Structure 1
Amino acid sequence: MTNTTKNTTAYVAQSIASFGIALTVVIVGEVNLPVAGWTRAFLGLGTVFLVSSCFTLAKCIRDQQETESVVSRIDQARIERMMAEFDPYRVPTPGDPAAPRAFG
């Protein structure tokens, strides 16, 4: 069972717009802040670091979800193969390599 959901174009556009608006508001606020230049520079560097950290975190979460999805698909394929090969009406014979071995 794979759960593949596609994001709509409107959702992607809204996400991009909200990110752009938020970043613009922060930058305009930092530029118009009535403080010394070094304070603005410090806040600007903090903003750059925060934005890059957000992108890195989003990528890590996406990669982890993709890894779990691949492992889930591999496990599902193994289970489907085992179920396809299983014959509940088959009677094992003593020479059959798939027959259960007796201990001793």
Structure 2
Amino acid sequence: MLPSLLKSLREEKKFPQREVASALGIDTTTYCKIEKGKYPANKEQVEKLAELFHADRNELVKVWLADKIVNIANKDEEVAAEAIKLADSKFNDLSKEP
């Protein structure tokens, strides 16, 4: 999800990959791997990219976090499904607190 979104945003803004990589303080090869989903971006990088692309920070962080959850869940799908239900329940409980 995030890799294709980053590529779309970069192309929309007409930034070359080397310029985006430089803004992140990484080499172009590493940024290319982020766009291809072969290397994970960290939260700080995602926030910098949101600023660079003038994109909604919360939306990019949400997609980044969803990717992390999916990647972890793929390692143990059975346990992950139960963990997601438990987390959802906890979030619902938190939202009910005053």
Give TM-score, length-normalised by structure 1.
0.27
More helix by share: 2
Say which one has the larger Rg.
1
TM-score by length of 2: 0.28
